[in-house]
Amino acid sequence: MSTQPNKTLETFPNPAAHRDFHIHMQIPEFTCLCPKTGQPDFATLTLDYIPDQLCVELKSLKLYIWSFRNEGCFHEAVTNRILDDLVAALQPRFMRLTARFFVRGGIFTNVVAEHRQAGWQPAPVVALENFEQNLNIRD
């Protein structure tokens, strides 16, 4: 039995819902079709999110992304659609989807779409300057 593209996004419980942590994913094989010419468009998607109660299951994400392969989509529309579908499934504290489309007609297109849960604020950034030097790591 072969695996088929699918629009269903499966989830699992966040194993550390008591804290903010960052999930970073690179999806280098996104494809869809140009809605004007029908020619393939290729992109690398970068998904960054801070989960609340749910995380996305990776195989379902792969099949979901694959489901766009034969769809005609404008870059801006498909990026926002994917973000909307992920937000609906996960209800994350924060999510950013960056779509870096390869050149078409001499133009590279990058589309960045974000979601922020109402009332959520990120924790302050902790800078660990010269961290490795302070550990006295020796070669």
Q: What is the pLDDT of residues 20-50, one digit of tens each?
A: 999 999 999 999 999 999 999 999 999 999 9
Looking at residue 41, its amino acid is: D
Alpha helices in the chain (DSSP H): 58-66, 75-90, 131-134
Q: Bridge partners of 112?
A: 98
pLDDT mean over 56-61: 97
pLDDT for the residue numbered 72? 97
Helices and strands in the chain, H and E counts: 3, 6
Domain membership flag for residue 42: yes
Is 93 a residue whose pLDDT tops 70?
A: yes
CATH for 40:
3.30.1130.10
Give the confidence band of 108 by pLDDT, cuts at 50, 70, 90: very high
Domain membership flag for residue 139: no
Domain membership flag for residue 82: yes
Number of folded domains that form the chain = 1
Give the confidence band of 1 by pLDDT, cuts at 50, 70, 90: very low
Domain that holds residue 28: 11-134
Catalytic annotation, residues: 34, 41
Is 65 a residue whose pLDDT tops 90?
A: yes
pLDDT for the residue numbered 138? 55
Q: Is the overall model pTM greater than 0.85, yes or no?
A: yes
Q: Bridge partners of 127?
A: none
Give the confidence band of 131 by pLDDT, cuts at 50, 70, 90: low
88 neighbors 60 (Cβ within 8 angstroms): no
CA dist 76 and 84 (Å) reads 12
